[in-house]
């Protein structure tokens, strides 16, 4: 919020949209992600217990959101997958080794895999 000179998350998001940002994603201490596509603001908890290593987790989130948008998914859909990918990354050591593949996150139609130690909400 230092960048926008605002005091609250909704005000920061509104200011970033006013400045021309189409999609805004804010990460709060690797525990929750707030995103907005100018239509609505949503906050999701990152489904992770103890954090093993933060290295690469934000980059993982950004990459997964970007790839989802390239695939023509909505920001909400992209963030949901990206948050799971971020949780996977936070639960493992190292930036490179903790970057999940799609097979690490999804299995079949909507069934999640790979988070036995994390505890999906």
**pLDDT of 47-103, one tens digit each?**
988 888 888 899 999 999 999 999 999 999 999 999 999 998 898 887 666 778 777
What's the whole-model pTM score? 0.79
Ordered by where they begin, the domains of the chain are 9-112 (3.40.1190.20)
- pLDDT attached to residue 97: 65
Q: Hey, which bits of the chain come out as E strands? A: 24-28, 32-36, 41-45, 106-107, 111-112
Q: What is the pLDDT of residues 1-20, one digit of tens each?
A: 788 999 999 999 999 999 99
Residue 106: pLDDT band with limits 50, 70, 90: low
Query: Per-residue confidence at 115, pLDDT binned at 50, 70, 90?
Result: very low
Give the whole-angstrom CA distance, residue 74 versus residue 34: 15
In the Cβ-directed half-sphere of 82, how many Cα atoms lie within 13 Å?
30
Q: Which residues pair with 106 in a beta bridge?
A: 112
């Amino acid at each position: 919020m230092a960048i926008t000179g605002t005091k609250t998350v909704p005000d920061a998001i509104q200011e970033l949209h006013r400045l021309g940002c189409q999609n805004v994603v804010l990460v709060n201490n690797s525990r929750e992600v707030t995103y907005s596509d100018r239509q609505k603001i949503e906050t999701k908890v990152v489904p992770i217990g103890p954090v093993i290593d933060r290295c690469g987790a934000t980059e993982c989130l950004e990459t997964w959101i970007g790839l989802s948008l390239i695939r023509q998914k909505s920001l909400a859909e992209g963030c949901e997958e990206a948050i799971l990918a971020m949780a996977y990354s936070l639960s493992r050591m190292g930036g490179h080794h903790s970057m999940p593949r799609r097979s690490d996150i999804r299995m079949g139609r909507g069934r999640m895999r790979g988070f036995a130690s994390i505890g999906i909400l």
